[in-house]
Amino acid sequence: MARASTLHRRPAPMGAGRLLARVALGSTGLAAILLLLVYPLVSFLLLAVFPGLFGQSGQGFSLAAFAQALDGYALQSVLNSLAIGLSSGALAVGLGLYVSWLTQRTTLSVRRLVDGAVWLLLLTPSYLLAIGWLVLTQHGGLLNQAGLHWGWLEAAFSGPIGVALVLAVKHIPFAYLAIAPSWNTIGGELEEAAQVHGIRGGQATLLLAKLLLPAIAAAFAVVFAEALSDFGVAATLGASSNVPLLTYSIYRALYANPLNFPLAAASSWILLALAGIAVWAQARVNRRAAAYAVLSGRGRLARRVVLGGYGKAVAWFSLGLLGLVALAIPALATVFMSFTKVLGDGLNWANLGLDNYQTVLRQGDLLGPLTYSGMLAGLAATTALVLALVLASVLSSGSRLARGLDVVLLGTLALPGLVLAAGYIFAYNQPFLPLYGTSLLLGMAYAAGAMPSSSRILLGPLTQLHHSLGEAARVHGVSGLGVLRRITLPLLAQPLLYAWLLAASGIVFELPASELLYPPGQPPLAVALLKSVHNFDFGLSTALEVVAVAIVVGTVWLIRAVVTRLLPPNWQRRLNEQHSH
């Protein structure tokens, strides 16, 4: 038969080549995860039960570290972390839901405003928020000096409530970014169906919440993990209000004499276990909820609610209040502090001036570290983003590999940067992997640190891309690379740009890996900033922070403006925008 002979004549170069490429891509991603995250983390975590590893003074197998990590006081920090993680998670998700509903489902024109605020908040280090509120509310703080003695506010901020509140506010962006795209996937008809069938008020909200449950679960898991891993708030508000948190226990065990690496490792395990709860809960929710509609090539219009006068008033008031709590108050307090000459002299005009900023300008030796960090941040953020894109596409596949990956990534999110950085020393200060002390390793650590959250951020936009968009392109002769260039990249350009900016600006200020891994003689910005402030000169340090944040926000804005100008217009349309108006 003619056909049978063709069967033998044609071998399969194309098929094999493509398969090879796919396997290569997959294994590159896997290798990156193993080298950047798993190997160093496991190295460190093993110390919990094998305290004698890496030349440390311990022997054999022991569970003593876990006993220590769960004794009275340390147990308190576990419980505190759990309670604060849960409450700030719930609060952030609730607020994220409300704000995303306002931007996605009402005619209120706040989209740009909220998006701007969300990114600003993402760029702001958590300790700045905490310090802002501390400066304002502590006993003898700005409020007191202004003659306002609001005991309840002081009490709230010198206890767990303040810690949970600041952590929740700081992490609203994560909840918002995780939930916002989902509003488009549950078409307005569903809401209308509820209305038509007389389901109103609380019941309707409940119905909607059930439809949004996968997004809510994802948002909660991320916020919970991020809140658990937060160190900035733990070290400032938490520390000054005697609310010991797990991250701070880890910090203590790692940095305070007598050092106790096994204890830090055991506490890290506990932190991982707590994050595991969130992962498990999310997986359960996802298993129950069918993965329903995503953005397809079918341009369906989402219906928007026209808010009445009362609804508008509530919306504006709550957004204003959020803006005040999340950005305006901490920013003002910090800026105010940076203008204060002598802190002990308190609130008066004579005590305000530019002295601290003049000192900042004299810190000429910060230019080198700034350039170095900027360059490393650019490279590491690019690497992180490429890997994050690969990871996000694996995650969005929903395979078993994806679930495993999700656990690893969320676990990494939950561990403070300190643990990863310390793990890098153990893992890479080895004769067979002598990378410790090189810029390469520091860059790897930066990329590893940025990767989990970047992939989380890209996951939303990526899952919105209906697979038929790519299939349509390939069937019509567009190659795999062409699909990436013509379809995927243009549709993901905006989220990619933002994720890159976020990763890069986070890296510029990253402290723990910078401290533990920087090459001798080549300090990164965070280390240099820390050094240029002696003896708790708060005025100077806040001035430095204000300048640094201003530089970074300015750079981010500049890059964004330039890139937006360079991008072809159809790359700038956002997925969500095609569903609005």
Sites for another protein among residues 532-551 (CB under 8 A):
534-538
6 near another protein, judged by CB under 8 A? yes
Length of the chain (residues): 581
Assigned token pair, 493: 């350009």
CA atoms lying within 13 Å on the CB side of residue 174? 28
531 near another protein, judged by CB under 8 A? yes
Measured distance CA(453)–CA(415) in Å, rounded: 12
349 near another protein, judged by CB under 8 A? no
Q: Which is nearer to another protein, 24 or 273 (CB)?
A: 24
CA distances, 454 to each of 174, 321, 336, 399 (Å): 11, 29, 33, 20
Out of 11, 147, 198, 202, the residue judged to bind another protein by CB under 8 A: 11
Q: Are 529 and 372 in contact (CB under 8 A)?
A: no
Out of 27, 28, 358, 399, the residue judged to bind another protein by CB under 8 A: 28
Q: Which is nearer to another protein, 59 or 535 (CB)?
A: 535
Out of 98, 269, 316, 571, the residue judged to bind another protein by CB under 8 A: 571
Question: In the bound complex, what is the minimum distance in angstroms from residue 217's beta carbon to another protein?
Answer: 26
Assigned token pair, 65: 């570290």
Out of 205, 318, 564, 578, the residue judged to bind another protein by CB under 8 A: 578
Q: Are 275 and 60 in contact (CB under 8 A)?
A: no
Question: In the bound complex, what is the minimum distance in angstroms from residue 515's beta carbon to another protein?
Answer: 5
Per-residue binding string, another protein, 350-389, x by CB under 8 A, is --------------------------x--xx-xx--xx-x
DSSP state letter for 341: S
Which residue from 445, 452, 442 is spatially nearest to 413, judged by alpha carbons?
452
First to last CA, the chain: 60
Measured distance CA(581)–CA(575) in Å, rounded: 13
Q: Which is nearer to another protein, 308 or 521 (CB)?
A: 521
Q: Are 218 and 178 in contact (CB under 8 A)?
A: yes
Question: In the bound complex, what is the minimum distance in angstroms from residue 281's beta carbon to another protein?
Answer: 27
Measured distance CA(568)–CA(162) in Å, rounded: 45
Q: Which is nearer to another protein, 117 or 264 (CB)?
A: 264
35 near another protein, judged by CB under 8 A? no
106 near another protein, judged by CB under 8 A? no
Measured distance CA(172)–CA(118) in Å, rounded: 8
Segment 145 to 164, residues that bind another protein, using CB under 8 A: 145
171 near another protein, judged by CB under 8 A? no
Q: Helix or strand or coil: residue 340?
A: strand
Which residue from 231, 257, 255 is spatially nearest to 245, judged by alpha carbons?
231
CA distances, 355 to each of 337, 347, 362, 366, 515 (Å): 12, 16, 11, 18, 29
Question: In the bound complex, what is the minimum distance in angstroms from residue 277's beta carbon to another protein?
Answer: 27
Q: Which is nearer to another protein, 228 or 526 (CB)?
A: 526
Contact residues for 326 (Cβ-Cβ < 8 A; gap 6+) = 117, 121, 129, 169, 170, 172
Question: In the bound complex, what is the minimum distance in angstroms from residue 464's beta carbon to another protein?
Answer: 10
Assigned token pair, 468: 């038929």
Which residue from 184, 105, 100, 183 is spatially nearest to 579, judged by alpha carbons?
184
Segment 436 to 495, residues that bind another protein, using CB under 8 A: 436-441, 443-444, 466, 468-469, 471-480, 482, 484, 486-487, 490-491
Measured distance CA(502)–CA(129) in Å, rounded: 17
Segment 40 to 59, residues that bind another protein, using CB under 8 A: 54-57
DSSP state letter for 326: I
Per-residue binding string, another protein, 58-77, x by CB under 8 A, is --------------xx----
Q: Are 472 and 490 in contact (CB under 8 A)?
A: no
Measured distance CA(228)–CA(247) in Å, rounded: 7
Q: Which is nearer to another protein, 120 or 537 (CB)?
A: 537
For residue 228, the one-letter residue type is L
Question: In the bound complex, what is the minimum distance in angstroms from residue 266's beta carbon to another protein?
Answer: 15
325 near another protein, judged by CB under 8 A? no
Assigned token pair, 529: 């900033």
DSSP state letter for 433: E
Residue range at the interface with another protein (CB under 8 A); choices 80-88, 221-229, 450-458, 565-573 = 565-573
Q: Which is nearer to another protein, 399 or 430 (CB)?
A: 430
Contact residues for 531 (Cβ-Cβ < 8 A; gap 6+) = 523
Segment 279 to 308, residues that bind another protein, using CB under 8 A: 295-299, 301
Q: Are 189 and 233 in contact (CB under 8 A)?
A: no
With contacts defined by CB under 8 A, how many residues of the chain interact with another protein?
117
Q: Which is nearer to another protein, 207 or 469 (CB)?
A: 469
431 near another protein, judged by CB under 8 A? yes
Q: Which is nearer to another protein, 173 or 449 (CB)?
A: 449
Residue range at the interface with another protein (CB under 8 A); choices 78-86, 168-176, 268-276, 570-578 = 570-578
Residue range at the interface with another protein (CB under 8 A); choices 107-115, 501-509, 516-524, 555-563 = 516-524
259 near another protein, judged by CB under 8 A? yes
Residue range at the interface with another protein (CB under 8 A); choices 6-14, 174-182, 193-201, 404-412 = 6-14
Segment 409 to 428, residues that bind another protein, using CB under 8 A: 422, 425-426
Assigned token pair, 177: 């970014």
Q: Which is nearer to another protein, 15 or 309 (CB)?
A: 15
Beta strands in 345-435 (DSSP E): 429-430, 433-434
Residue range at the interface with another protein (CB under 8 A); choices 58-66, 101-109, 314-322, 340-348 = 340-348
